[in-house]
């Protein structure tokens, strides 16, 4: 018997997949906090190899913004903030679920990779942090996760190194390399899978390098990770 609902459930958000007509259905969005040492320092923390910490973004169409290849997508400036920050990130798409995954087996669970932005209402995040409260209003708001097309692992191979960068109106503001991750992709998947049973459709935003800063209406961001489809987003 089919389940009946009092109103129609929201459809799954689909991200484009390079070389395929079918979209990647998003199940959950996990984010790794302070996973580049230089970014940890600019946020006022001493980087070390303590266990990584995670937070989540919503998985609905109000929050995830698919950015098609070659397009510049408009991103609404969010309410209740005067300090709207960019954070360029390598996004890992999970294609095979699992729990307590060993680091050496993590690549078997990867469907592919994409370029994403963890947009942040920094003033609200800092206010919550100082009060010892959750970050949701700073991180999990509408249109907070622009994400580009997914490149399948079969096309990219494992991404353990490569330039990651962001420009704002043509000026480079973030520039680093995936090798500078404190916890690499395999370690991150392994750690996360001890806390949640990962499932196909999960996304992991793996952290941002140093150079985060504010954008205002009218500015355009171009984000890239070597070997992946770049993204272009304009704040309106």
As beta bridge partners, residue 88 has 117
What pLDDT, on the 0 to 100 scale, is given for residue 195? 97
d(CA 68, CA 92): 17
What pLDDT, on the 0 to 100 scale, is given for residue 40? 67
Please measure the distance between the N-terminal and C-terminal CA atoms of the chain and give it in whole angstroms: 46
What pLDDT, on the 0 to 100 scale, is given for residue 52? 86
Q: Nearest 5°: phi and psi at 227? A: 90, -5
d(CA 66, CA 70): 12
What pLDDT, on the 0 to 100 scale, is given for residue 11? 92
Q: Are strands 54-57 and 151-152 parallel, antiparallel or unpaired?
A: unpaired
pLDDT digits (tens, 9 = 90+) for 23-80: 999 999 999 988 887 676 776 677 666 788 899 999 999 999 999 999 999 999 999 9
d(CA 210, CA 88): 10
What pLDDT, on the 0 to 100 scale, is given for residue 39? 72
Listed as ranges, residues in the chain with pLDDT below 50 are: none
d(CA 164, CA 38): 14
227 to each of 33, 153, 161, 162, how far by Cα in Å?
A: 24, 11, 10, 8
What pLDDT, on the 0 to 100 scale, is given for residue 59? 95
Handedness of CA 118, 122, 127, 132 (dihedral sign): positive
Read off the pTM.
0.95
* Helix-, strand-, coil-residue percentages of the chain, each rounded to 5: 15, 35, 50
């Amino acid at each position: 018997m089919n389940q009946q609902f009092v109103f129609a459930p929201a459809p799954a958000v689909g991200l484009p997949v390079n070389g395929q007509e079918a979209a990647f259905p998003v199940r959950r969005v996990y984010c790794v906090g302070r996973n580049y040492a230089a970014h940890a320092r600019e946020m006022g923390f001493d980087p070390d190899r303590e266990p990584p910490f995670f937070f989540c973004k919503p998985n609905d169409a109000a929050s995830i913004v698919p950015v098609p290849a070659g397009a510049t997508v408009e991103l609404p400036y969010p309410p209740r903030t005067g300090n709207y920050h960019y954070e360029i990130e390598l996004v890992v798409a999970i294609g095979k679920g699992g729990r307590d995954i060993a680091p050496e087996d993590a690549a078997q669970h990867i469907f592919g990779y994409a370029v994403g932005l963890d947009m942040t209402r920094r003033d609200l995040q800092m206010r919550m942090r100082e009060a010892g409260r959750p970050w949701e209003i700073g991180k999990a708001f509408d249109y907070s996760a622009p994400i580009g097309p997914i490149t399948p692992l079969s096309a990219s191979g494992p991404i353990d190194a490569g330039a990651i960068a962001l420009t704002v109106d043509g000026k480079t503001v973030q520039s680093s390399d995936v090798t500078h991750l404190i916890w690499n992709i395999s370690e991150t998947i392994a750690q996360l899978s001890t806390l949640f049973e990962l499932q196909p459709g999960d996304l992991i935003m793996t952290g941002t390098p140093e150079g985060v800063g504010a954008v205002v209406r009218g500015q355009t961001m171009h984000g890239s990770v070597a070997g992946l489809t770049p993204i272009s987003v304009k704040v309106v």
